[in-house]
Structure 1
């Protein structure tokens, strides 16, 4: 990989890689070997919470250490609709709401505080449950000889509501029948995260979310304290110089259950990207998108791998991502986009 190609793969260009590096070649093969090992030895898991297929473009949502890493102001919106077609065949009196989520976020670097800030507003709805999040975070950026490290902290306010007018199909559920009227609970929490953008095109992050995990009083709900490990590597082959490949992985666990995804995407001529993703025991996904100047549009569709969902004849899940980045005054932001991964 040439120095020019390597520099283009990076969100930050302050410390470009000159020439080939044996260390980074080892890192490349190490990541590829790790992904292969995980593919060969899957472990059963139970997914919970808000799942995002395009996790590689949603980094700030689960790691506050990523705030400001895009070297410009980035604003994005993502919407996910699960269980397409679930309402078919149901009685009109049954108000079933398929799980759906919307995430709106923005983050930017601020030189005066030697880091970046980020804000996120997200909602998740499923039948009688409604969750809304507001997150505000800061990350300190440390320039090193091997890349840039982001060390972040984020405060979160969450509301959880239950619809007392919900009309279930199964009226014998004792939990639902105990709900006489709509209720809402408010919870606060804190997350921390570390993110490394390496000079050689690799990236890795570790985050701890919901550290307080406070149990609500009005609604008996307690979020799980979770830990997220994610990373990947961007590279190209000399025989295919116009295509950049990015294998990536995301693992989240509360040490009782875990959610694990892997993906491989390829970006052609800095404009079009496509790929495949697999979420353990849940779905195989098709991803694709395009860059139009400073605008990025991404789509994905989940083909369910769950036996229960297939037996229920429920459709997959659809996601749409819209992202816009623009540079700060005096900055040279990578908005045309070197690597479709960044959010």
Structure 2
């Protein structure tokens, strides 16, 4: 049923974007932190291509649907710190399952380049984004590496008024300046990592565009304003046995006009092949997820979200699928070395 008032819908969109996250929600960002932090680009020795699709709040008319494609690769990283097969240094575990610093060679400084394309649809609003990124990875010692990255591109907003029932043709939200708006984007990030842990911080949508809605503006001339988004994340790799790896992680997301959102995640992997995990978003949802590294080229993962808010009364949860493809993987790496 398309009984939607255009003014009511866009008012809702403006309200949500003013007081909450504007960017798409992904449960499996733990498999692809490059989505929120350009410093991750080129972290592995191969080219990492990932395709993701998410349908949120299944069964609810006009619910968000998101698709993304990311690809990034390293330049000058042919002799990365951790080898494979007979060239891989022997790992010595400490009491808590960490790898001792002396068991790894010093990594080489290298560059990373990549790109992100996303399409997000919610009701009559469609948002399309494309960003290209550059990163530089600088070893600090034999154990730690610090990466810094920058990404820039464009975001386009479209409102499909043809599928709406319009009762007031003079509604200011129907003017062409809102139906088709294009913004320039800027993201900056930092990523401190080793084989045992990572800590990342980034800021997205940092540019202010000239036609953004300002306090001096009027309700008769609305514009979609991009709010800065900030992300902080950390993860720890524990290895209680040779076959089992446990990875707890956390993500904090914040905007100027919303309370910080916190995600808690935990995953367990067996033999670097099969993994399962759970995620909790504070006052939002719980999720279960699982995946398999099929071989040195393909991996696939699935997650299901159960809303813990009032939305669970009208939706059947959220589904997300991610397909990973390792290109130019000469070392035949099955489980990623740095992004586990």
User: Alpha-carbon deviations, 1:103-130, whole Å to 9, x = none?
Assistant: 1010000119931001011010011100
**Structure 2, unpaired ranges of 5+:** 1-18, 78-108, 213-220
Is residue 218 of structure 2 the alignment partner of residue 223 of structure 1? no
Q: Secondary structure at the match of 1:332?
A: coil
| Partner residue, 2:9 | none
In the TM superposition, residue 241 of structure 1 has moved relative to its aligned partner by 2.9
| Partner residue, 1:279 | 281
| Partner residue, 2:331 | 332
Is residue 80 of structure 2 the alignment partner of residue 85 of structure 1? no
User: Alpha-carbon deviations, 1:186-234, whole Å to 9, x = none?
Assistant: 11121111011124x1001111111113254686011111211011011
- Runs (4+) of structure 1 exceeding 6 A deviation are 171-177
**CA shift in 2, pair 1:260/1:46, >3 Å:** farther
User: Alpha-carbon deviations, 1:150-188, whole Å to 9, x = none?
Assistant: 1101112110011111326xx779997842678211111
**CA shift in 2, pair 1:216/1:79, >3 Å:** farther
**Structure 1, unpaired ranges of 5+:** 1-44, 87-95
Checking the alignment, whether the CA contact within 8 Å between 1:52 and 1:80 is kept in structure 2 is yes
Q: What RMSD over aligned residues (CA atoms) do the two structures have, in Å? A: 2.6
Query: Which residues of 2 match residues 35-184 of structure 1 at below 5 A?
Result: 47-86=21-60, 96-111=61-76, 114-145=110-141, 146-167=143-164, 178-179=173-174, 183-184=179-180
**Could you tell me the TM-score, scaled by structure 2's length?**
0.75
Checking the alignment, whether the CA contact within 8 Å between 2:55 and 2:66 is kept in structure 1 is yes
Checking the alignment, whether the CA contact within 8 Å between 2:228 and 2:256 is kept in structure 1 is no
Give the counterpart of 1:209 among 196, 204, 208. 204
Distance 1:339 1:243 in 2: 15
**Could you tell me the TM-score, scaled by structure 1's length?**
0.75
Distance 1:99 1:84 in 2: 9
Checking the alignment, whether the CA contact within 8 Å between 2:51 and 2:70 is kept in structure 1 is yes
| Partner residue, 1:195 | 191
**CA shift in 2, pair 1:173/1:341, >3 Å:** farther
In the TM superposition, residue 315 of structure 1 has moved relative to its aligned partner by 1.5
Distance 2:184 2:21 in 1: 23
Number of aligned residues: 279
Checking the alignment, whether the CA contact within 8 Å between 1:64 and 1:191 is kept in structure 2 is yes
